[in-house]
Amino acid sequence: MTFDISSDSVSSESSGPREILGLREALENSYQYYWNKGQSHFFYRLGIGSVHCRSFVEERNKSLLIISPGRAESSLKYAELCLELKGSGFDILVLDHRGQGFSERYFGLDNLGHVESFRDYADDFVDIVSHFQERKKYQKTIVLAHSMGAAIGLTGLLRAPGLCQGMILSSPMLKVLTRKVPEPLARMALKTMTKSWLKTNPVNRREGKDQREAFKINFNTGCEERFTFFREMEKRHPQIMIGSPTYGWLSEALVMGRHIWKEKKQLDCALLLIQAERDELVCNKAQDQFAHAVNNCRLIRLKESKHEVLQERNAIRNRALVQIHKFLKEHS
């Protein structure tokens, strides 16, 4: 079932901290909440070293929400959402996938997004989530996952059926857009490149553009305040900054998309897929096909939204939050 939601469907400024404080102050408050109320955990993982995640726990909560960020995102980027979901009945665990955020990088690749195998992401995901589930014996586990994080979450669920009882997929990376290069040709080229020293070379380079120019050309969000704030966070915490993906990462991303499509009928939980209408990074057509092919998936298409739905302008982002709260209430 597919629903198109425009800015007329929900008030552009629904109630929340931004109304009272203004967006900039609300973002700063969420940053303080991340550091003052959260707890960091590190897990040693073969081939990379320490993988970081941050938890927000209240004794009264009976359910667990796992947040699985997208490529190049850190757990810190979800501080705003964590604060907004305080009091929802969910403990929250935000992952920093291997090679990004506050997790260790691959040797010699500090500024690049790389992974040797997408299975490593999925293995990390399953093991860390399982560890936290055992600590408190939660009644329900829900996953909220963005882009690459959604591909990781889906692959983890395929590896460990029953790991969660519901998934919210934000702009899921089911198929990477390869621009003017047909995907079969891209796969063939990458297969050759990843057998050589080019495997760890960047697909493109992050240029040192000024703030305003960088915002104008970005594919992720139309919200300049959130875009600017997170760039400032990268300056406060340089270790979370990450640039281009490598050819090795891109090759694995294409492989993982095909794996999810092949095994999609094995997915065994309720799904909410939030699609960004103006996405230029992942394929919306693949999301449409996926939503109609799997069991129990509701697709919401957000008009005017770029790729990062939860970093968008409030007029767009609030529509996503309404759907997220509704899903959490239905499955808590």
Res 207: pLDDT: 53
Split at pLDDT 50, 70, 90, the class of 325 is very high
> Which one has a higher pLDDT value, 77 or 21?
77
User: In this model, does residue 8 exceed pLDDT 70?
Assistant: no
**pLDDT single digits (tens) 176-211:** 998 778 888 888 888 888 888 889 999 986 555 666
**pLDDT single digits (tens) 215-229:** 989 999 999 999 999
Answer positive or negative: Cα dihedral of 227, 230, 235, 241.
negative
Q: How many domains does the chain have?
A: 1
Q: How far apart are CA 172 and CA 145, in angstroms?
A: 8
For the chain, give the percent of residues with pLDDT over 90: 79
Res 211: pLDDT: 65
Domain that holds residue 245: 2-331
For 303-323, give the secondary structure using H, E and C: CCCCCCHHHCCHHHHHHHHHH
User: Cα dihedral angle (145, 148, 154, 158), rounded to 10 degrees?
Assistant: -150
Q: Kind and range of the H or E element at 64?
A: strand 63-68
Secondary structure (DSSP) of 157-205: HHHSTTS-SEEEEES--SSB--TTS-HHHHHHHHHHHTTSGGGGSBSS-
Taking a C-beta distance cutoff of 8 angstroms, is the pair 69, 94 a contact?
A: yes
User: In this model, does residue 314 exceed pLDDT 60?
Assistant: yes
Q: What is the CATH number of the domain that holds 219?
A: 3.40.50.1820
